Amino acid sequence: MTVAVSARIRRALTAAVLALGVIGVAGLVHAQKPQPEVQGLSPEEQIVISVYKRAGPGVVHITSTALAYDFFFNPVPQKGTGSGFVVDDRGYILTNNHVVEEADSLEVTLTDKSKVRAKLVGRDSSNDLAVIKIDVPKEKLSPLKLGNSDALQVGQMAIAIGNPFGLDRTVTRGVVSSVGRMLRSDSGRQIRGIIQTDAPINPGNSGGPLLNSRGEVIGINSAIYTPSGGSVGIGFAIPVNTAKRLLPQLIARGRVSHPWLGISGLDITPEVAKALKLAAQEGVMVVQVSPKGPAGRAGIKGSTKRIRFGNMLVSVGGDIIIKIDGRKVQSVDEMTAFLDAEHKVGDKVKIELLRDGRPLALSVRLGELPDA
């Protein structure tokens, strides 16, 4: 019976050759044949090998050189290394801001070991992202596919490729340990939606891709928690959807436009409210107002005096922001994140506040966060 069935299939394929041509049928036959597996490797190993082969050529080694000066004011080059990955065939490379921000010159090492100068295109310290560019033929570039970090599931496979301690194109594997973490950037602003992974990440991995089992970039490796200086299984990556949202601005303008209120404040909790005898149990007490900033122009007032609170001097007496556009405000970080996510520079927002215990509403036109 088996022989008869095979014969019928062979006759059908022969007919297809006459109708479609040998090339078409060769493709049809190939599609029906299962792909050979390497003997002795588990399905998980096969996945990692496949992802590394596909994505590895798109990962680059970035060497940054910054000039410092010795005691006699002689210039002394200092080098740092990091990772990055190609995002398109024009030569744009995505990496971390902290990999390139102090650099006087940048060099990229490609998968074929060739080295090429790179130029800084744009950076955003608030999200620890940067874009650099190299000028090489398209054939030397292997852009990586950007995935969807909003669809991540805790427990799914996470694969990191980078250059830890200068060791080119090292691959490590783990899982997505958690999502929705928060990380403080060098600018002091909070990066939200951070991916936590136990895929080993070490110094030099910064700026490299975190990939899913399909080889799509899901994050940009940025930081680790470590008491020892090495990986302890707690790594953090900036979600790729954040990078996709900011890439056009970084390439076109060299920077990202962040809405700015122009205040510094103190988070109010019931404990703080009780200790300082405040009229509100939650909100943000304005400590300082930038004189020429949006809040200052709208008439928002900062603190008027300082009092001792334990071993600290605390500024008090400023307006207490309760709501923005009808949304309750509970912390400075939450307020900043809301403005970044829901508004743009030039938007008007309604701010509800308490001044000397009395409610007041003001309209503020958001400005642009100044460069650090």
Residues with catalytic function: 98, 128, 206
Question: 54 φ, ψ to 5°?
Answer: -80, -45
Of 224, 126, 233, 133, nearest in space to 184 by CA: 126
Q: Provide the β-strand partners of residue 359.
A: 354
Cβ atoms < 10 Å from Cβ of 113: 8
Task: In whole angstroms, give the CA distance from residue 253 to residue 219.
Answer: 23
Residue 280 · residue 300 · CB < 8 Å: no
Task: In whole angstroms, give the CA distance from residue 263 to residue 351.
Answer: 13
Task: In whole angstroms, give the CA distance from residue 63 to residue 85.
Answer: 13
DSSP states of 193-208: EEEEE-S---TT-TT-
- Long-range pairs for 296-299: beta carbons < 8 A, 24 or more residues apart: 296/262, 297/365, 298/351, 298/362, 298/363, 298/364, 298/365, 299/362
Dihedral sign, Cα of residue 238, residue 243, residue 249, residue 254: positive
Q: What is the bridge-based pairing of β-strands 75-86 and 59-69?
A: antiparallel
Task: In whole angstroms, give the CA distance from residue 240 to residue 132.
Answer: 17
> What 3-state DSSP class applies to 314?
strand
Query: Which residues, at least 6 apart from 284, have a Cβ–Cβ distance to it below 8 Å?
Result: 265, 266, 267, 268, 320, 321, 329, 330, 331, 332, 335
Residue 162 · residue 139 · CB < 8 Å: no
Q: What is the bridge-based pairing of β-strands 129-133 and 190-197?
A: unpaired
> What 3-state DSSP class applies to 357?
coil
